[in-house]
Amino acid sequence: MIGLTVALLPTCAAAQKQPQPISKNQAPTAEKTPKLTERQQRGLKLLQSAEDEAGSTTPETQAYVLWQVAGGYEQIGRRSAMIPLLKRSFDATLALDCPPPPETDIHNLACIARGDLQGHILRRLVDLSIPATADLLPRAEPSLQDELSGAIISDYIRRKDYDRARGMIDELGRDGRFPYQSAVDFITALPEELSAEKVQVFAEALNNFKQNGPSQRPDLVDFGTMVARFWQTMPKPMVAEAIDSLLSQAKDSDQSSETKRRIVLGTTRGEVYFNSNYEFRLFQLLPILQQIDPERAESMMREQQQLKAALQQYPNGLQSADSMWDGQAQTDKPQVLSMNYIDPNDTNAAAREAKMRSYQELRRKEMEVEVAARDDGDKGLEAALALPEWDSEQHRSSPRAHALLQVARITAKRQPQVSTRALEKMQGLLSHLSSDETQWLVEKARFLRVAATVYHRLGDDDAAFSALKQGFKTADELFARDTDSDDPNLAPKIQWPSTVTRIHLFQTASEISPRMAEDLLQDTSDPDQRVIHKVALGRSLLGSYTPPFDVTDWRKAGFRFSIEAPN
């Protein structure tokens, strides 16, 4: 196993020149459990009760609950209990009925749940114990093995254990799975005195791309990223070779592909369209080529006139199209929001493209509302009220309600009267908006939950209780849909819209009135959900956030939707 093999590598000479910090994966120290408040003691009892009850639930619920209990124990300093709990949680995922590859069906709900759970468990475990993670990784879903290898590399980099990080990058490269993101992080983290090693890693990435590049299509993080990021610190001949390889691979890919897909780069200043992989690579690399070979760059520019507009708007290619390029967010510069491929022969491509443009435009307008609200709450409120009630004809979200909520949050401390007006406007809007879409009910409950939090900050707990009760009522509607006897939701309960919605609601209720939250917990009729919500409430009382799963709706007729868990 890669992680285990590399973990046994000797420490490099460069690392020996300075004392290494003691890793939390080494030399365990005696734990000091803090004195718990009355609120935390109640939370701990709920966690312990949930742990005891987990064994009587379904495998996915058991795995989820044990993972969450481990996170709660961390909050009170019981780290030694976390690793055994996470191992038990991982073992529970193996009980899910999921056939091994290649028989695995990508639409098998058990397989999806197992992969998601294992991902969460191992991502947490890697911060606690590299050896424990390496021990479990061979039994994890194949897609997770590469990802967790990257997480282990990040841990080595964070601890300045550059030799082990380099060894793992090398081994993944030899397997034809070169980790470009990890290589970017590694080169960035290396001190200047190790500049020769930076060049070596860049050269390995180049050789790997030349061997495996034909099977890869451009992405926001790939070998092109490394060239654009580090070209100024690499030998000029090597940079020129890298550019040649990227452009040649892109041209060959375009010629060999039966489907000519367009690439759409969405930014906060609009969309940039490319008719081919080659065009995208030129956009990414031409600004570099202008510096190292101006004549060739000018010749290429004459051949690609369609790129002129994009390069006039973003003269440094992706470096000027993304304010996060150097790792530092800059609000006065554009941000890349997405990168998508569109098949022009797809009859639905035009509709998807229009939908994407509409989404990008709404996001820009919502950001403008936030900027206005920070400057003047009344102007922000006016701008929010000008947004459309619905996001589209499908009636799944309300840009106006979202913007009003943002205004309320932004102005709560500085202009509380504006904040209250924004909340009242939002609740009035929710009372008359009606949609049969389950996604709308999830969104509506989120709006009400966040409104309760803002009301609490404003000191109006009566209004907060009222908003929460409306939120729980909406969750009851979701539960009725999830348990529809004629067409129930076939997704695991940890992903039901009603489950995820109630997790958030219980957490918010615990902040406003723990007693109210515990009373509501007793009203939960479904045994699995009661344990899930018990651990969420327990963690909240301990002061620990519970990250829920994505929301999934899957019926007899098949998949309906899956969306990220609302914040």
Would you list the domain boundaries of the chain?
Answer: 216-342, 355-563
Q: Say whether 372 sits in a helix, a strand or coil.
A: helix
Q: Two tokens at 409?
A: 């949050």
Give me the phi and psi of 161, to 5 degrees please: -90, 70
Distance, in Å, from the CA atom of 454 to the CA atom of 93, rounded to the nearest integer, reads 38
Amino acid letter for position 447? F
What are the backbone angles phi and psi of residue 282, rounded to the nearest 5°?
A: -65, -40
CB atoms within 10 A of CB 46: 26
**Confidence at residue 219, expressed as pLDDT on a 0 to 100 scale:** 81
What is the SS3 assignment for 553? Answer: strand
Side-chain-side CA neighbours of 376 within 13 Å: the count stands at 4
Which DSSP letter does residue 538 get? H
- Mean pLDDT in runs of 10 for the chain (567 residues)? 36 37 44 80 94 94 96 89 96 84 59 89 89 87 83 88 92 87 94 94 94 74 89 94 93 77 76 85 89 89 78 73 47 66 68 76 88 94 94 84 96 96 96 91 96 96 95 96 94 93 94 89 91 95 83 82 69
CA distances to 22, 333, 363 from 323, rounded to whole Å, are: 35, 5, 17
Say if CB 267 and CB 210 are below 8 A apart: no
Task: State the pLDDT at residue 104.
Answer: 46
Please list, in sequence order, all residues whose beta carbon lies within 8 angstroms of the beta carbon of residue 375, skipping any fewer than 6 positions away.
Answer: none
262 beta partners: 342
Q: What amino acid occupies position 394?
A: Q
Read off the amino acid at residue 492: P
Burial class (CB in 10 A: 0-12, 13-18, 19+), 117: buried
Rounded to 10 degrees, what is the CA torsion of 379, 384, 388, 391?
A: 150
Asked if 307 contacts 285 with a C-beta cutoff of 8 angstroms, the reply is no
- Report the pLDDT value the prediction gives residue 567, as an integer from 0 to 100: 65
pLDDT at res. 24 = 42
The rounded distance, in Å, linking the Cα atoms of 531 and 349 is: 44
Task: Name which of 358, 284, 279 is nearest 322 in CA terms.
Answer: 284
422: enclosing H helix or E strand: helix 416-432
Closest CA to 453 of 507, 377, 400: 507
CB 63 within 8 A of CB 92: yes
Question: In degrees, to the nearest 5, what angle opens at C-alpha 18 toward C-alphas 14 and 23?
Answer: 100
Give residue-wise pLDDT tens across range 391-402.
Answer: 876 788 899 999
Closest CA to 408 of 390, 392, 422, 389: 422
**Strand 262-267 and strand 336-342: pairing?**
antiparallel
Q: Which CATH code, of 3.30.310, 1.10.10, 1.20.1070, 1.25.40, is assigned to 355-563?
A: 1.25.40
130 with 25: CB under 8 angstroms? yes
Q: How many residues does the chain have?
A: 567
**CA proximity to 233, closest of 282, 280, 184:** 184
Please give the model's pTM, rounded to 2 decimal places: 0.68
pLDDT of residue 82: 95
- Token couple for 249: 């691979």
Which DSSP symbol is given to 337? E
